[in-house]
Amino acid sequence: MREESMRRKLHNTIQELKGNIRVFSRVRPLLGDELLGMDSDVPQHINFPDPDKKILELEKLAGITPNEVCESVASVRRGSNNKYEFQFDRVFPPSSTQTEVFHEISQLVQSALDGYNVCIFAYGQTGSGKTFTMEGRGTGDNRGMIPRSVEKIFATRDDLLSKGWIVSYLVSFLEIYNETIRDLLVQSRSQADSTKHDIKLVGPNTNEVFVTDLTTVEVQHQDAVQVLLKRALENRSVAETKCNERSSRSHSIFRMKITGSNSVTAESCVGLLNLVDLAGSERLKESGSQGQRLKETQNINKSLANLSNVIMALANKETHVPYRNSKLTHLLQNCLGGSSKMLMFVNVSPKEECFQETLNSLRFATQVNQCNIGQAQKKVK
């Protein structure tokens, strides 16, 4: 039994040395019609120059209009030939498989199993591959990080049981649309439409929050998660008929609460694994938008900006962290900061016409990544 505690400690030390905030960038392949008229299926304006897979180079080829906002990004090293170089903890080129990507995050799933709170985000413009990364497609090789995380969690179950642990896995799945929480695991649509959800503190002396009247499902087998993902998809598509492409304008949070207790060693642990598919980060113009669309735009811009404010405040060790300025960070407040671990995927579209949005996304990611460096250095002291 001591052996397991030692392993947990060691694993956590390694994770801390790597930094508690990490950033990965993933470029999806060109698909379908996007390939028409192209010489190859790899984007020509995105390069992966280093063998260590940490650098992504964006190249402004002839014909792309320069943009002043991005020219002034100090953190971006701009070399000759209109090249912008970005460095992340890991860069995944278009040919990367879901298996390769999961390999890099599986250590964080292990941390959740060990009783830490973990948040994995997918950030990027609509169509860049966030949902493909998180949920994936089907049950085969293209299945995403959510089903693979659940599989990993179940793969350790027998071992834990044999060591005297009693474990339980509780899943919830919700979306935040226009600062309103919607339960994606409800059985009936009328229930989803009529139930109002609030975020409340679990108790007086904790920062742990819960969502009122939210469906939580105890998962007994790894395959059950596919049923839940399907139910969530149906609940989302119902909402979509009322407001098309709604899913790209909402954040979704898949959460697995892992509880373990061991009567032999008197140990217990609770870990929360959050897999967050963020709303599309494209800069939507507020001017010209009206009514519902304007409200959506403002809410997305506000909540994504607040997410980065929270990360900055944590990195700078500020006394006030503005968790409560948006539903997203309020809900995740006990999973960001402290001993929690965070990873952000910045998903990138390979389309050349998306150059500007790609630059914006990579810029955002670079800011987040700098928090990583700050924190990692502190640990080494």
Ligand X SMILES: Nc1ncnc2c1ncn2[C@@H]1O[C@H](COP(=O)(O)OP(=O)(O)O)[C@@H](O)[C@H]1O
* 29 interacts with ligand X by CB under 6 A: yes
Out of ligand X, Mg ion, none, what residue 299 binds, judged by CB under 5 to 8 A for its kind, is: none
Smallest separation, CB 358 to ligand X (Å): 13
Residue among 335, 322, 316 at smallest CA distance from 375: 316
Instruction: Check binding of 131 to Mg ion (CB under 5 A).
Output: yes
> Which amino acid is located at 306 in the chain?
N
Tell me whether residue 195 is annotated as binding.
no
Size of the site for ligand X (CB under 6 A): 14
SS3 content of the chain, % helix, strand, coil (to 5): 40, 25, 35
Interface region with ligand X, contact rule CB under 6 A, candidates 66-74, 76-84, 128-136, 361-369: 128-136
Q: Pick from 1, 10, 31, 166: which binds ligand X (CB under 6 A)?
A: 31
Choosing from 86, 88, 116, 132, the residue that interacts with ligand X (CB under 6 A) is 132
Rg (the chain; Cα; Å): 21
124 is in an annotated binding site: yes
Nearer to Mg ion, 93 or 124 (CB): 124
Query: 125: annotated binding-site residue?
Result: yes
Question: With binding defined as CB under 6 A, does residue 360 bind ligand X?
Answer: no
Q: Is 137 in the site for ligand X (CB under 6 A)?
A: yes
**What is the smallest separation between the CB atom of 347 and ligand X, expressed in angstroms?**
5
Identified binder of ligand X from the candidate list 43, 93, 129, 147, rule CB under 6 A: 129
Under rule CB under 6 A, residue 128 binds ligand X? yes
CA dihedral 361, 367, 372, 377 (to 10 degrees): 150
What's the min distance (Å) between Cβ of 277 and Mg ion? 6
The H-or-E segment that residue 165 falls in is strand 165-177
Question: What is the full DSSP assignment across 49-107?
Answer: --TTS-EEEEE--TTPPP-HHHHT-TTSEE-STTEEEEE-SEEE-TT--HHHHHHHHHH
Annotation-wise, does 128 bind a ligand? Answer: yes
Q: What is the 3-state secondary structure of 245-270?
A: CHHHHCEEEEEEEEEEEECCCCEEEE
Binding mask 146-185 for ligand X (x = CB under 6 A): ----------------------------------------
- Window 68-87: contact mask with Mg ion (x via CB under 5 A): --------------------
Which tokens belong to 380? Answer: 């080494």
Query: Least separation, in Å, of the C-beta of 322 and ligand X?
Result: 26
Q: Determine, following the binding rule CB under 6 A, whether residue 28 of this chain makes contact with ligand X.
A: yes
HSE-CB of 56 using CA atoms within 13 angstroms = 28
Q: Looking at 82, 126, 334, 370, which residue binds ligand X (CB under 6 A)?
A: 126
Pairing of strands 267-277, 117-123: parallel
Structure tokens belonging to residue 240: 């979509």
Residues 185, 232 contacting (CB under 8 angstroms) = yes
CB of 126 to ligand X, least distance (A): 4
Question: Min. distance of Cβ 128 from ligand X in angstroms?
Answer: 4
Report yes or no: 362 and 346 within 8 Å, Cβ to Cβ.
yes
| Residue 126 annotated as lining a ligand binding site | yes
Residue 339: closest CA among 117, 110, 8: 117
| Secondary structure of 113-164 in HEC code, one letter for each residue | HCCCEEEEEEECCCCCCHHHHHCECCCCCCECHHHHHHHHHHHCHHHHHHCC
d(CA 284, CA 311): 23
Is 110 assigned a ligand-binding role in the annotation?
no
Residue 28 or 60 having the CB closest to Mg ion: 28
Q: Any binding-site annotation on 32?
A: no
- Annotation: binding site for ATP: 124-131
Q: Which residues bind Mg ion (CB under 5 A)?
A: 130-131
Residues that bind ligand X (CB under 6 A): 28-29, 31, 124, 126-132, 137, 248, 347
- Binding site as annotated, residues: 124-131
